[in-house]
Amino acid sequence: MSSPYEQNLKRLSEIADKNDLVLNPDEERVQKVVGLMAGNYEQVQEWICPCKQTQKPAVKGKDKTCPCNEWMSEINELGHCYCKLFYTKEKAAEQ
């Protein structure tokens, strides 16, 4: 069985592909966000977004899970989500 980090990276990559998006070309940023989210998953069994997390430690049912409800509106407006995890292909090419 793969680690929560590997599971999450696969899950997020599939979400990006399904929505014609890409993950941030900055691999360090991806590793950080995916890793923190995997840590939250290990604690509470939810893929809680570390960038929008309000409870420390994460609280199941209180913090936003990824992708959050507003991710697509952020991508449509900025070319990436607030966390800078998901990017449009065009915006990623500018990086």
Q: What is the pLDDT of residue 42?
A: 96
- The reported pTM is 0.94
Residue in 37, 43, 84, 91 with CA at minimum distance from that of residue 64: 37
Share above pLDDT 70 across residues of the chain, in percent, rounded to a whole number: 99
Write out pLDDT tens, residues 57-82. Answer: 999 999 999 999 999 999 999 999 99
Q: What is the mean pLDDT of residues 72-93?
A: 97
Q: Is 3 left (phi over 0), alpha (psi -120 to 50) or beta?
A: beta
Question: How open is the CA angle 33-48-22, to the nearest 5 degrees?
Answer: 45
Residue 1 has pLDDT above 70, yes or no: no
CA–CA dist 58, 95 (Å, integer): 31
Q: What is the pLDDT of residue 95?
A: 83
Domains of the chain: 4-94 (3.90.460.10)
Q: What is the pLDDT of residue 55?
A: 87
Neighbours of 15 (CB within 10 A): 16
CA–CA dist 93, 63 (Å, integer): 31
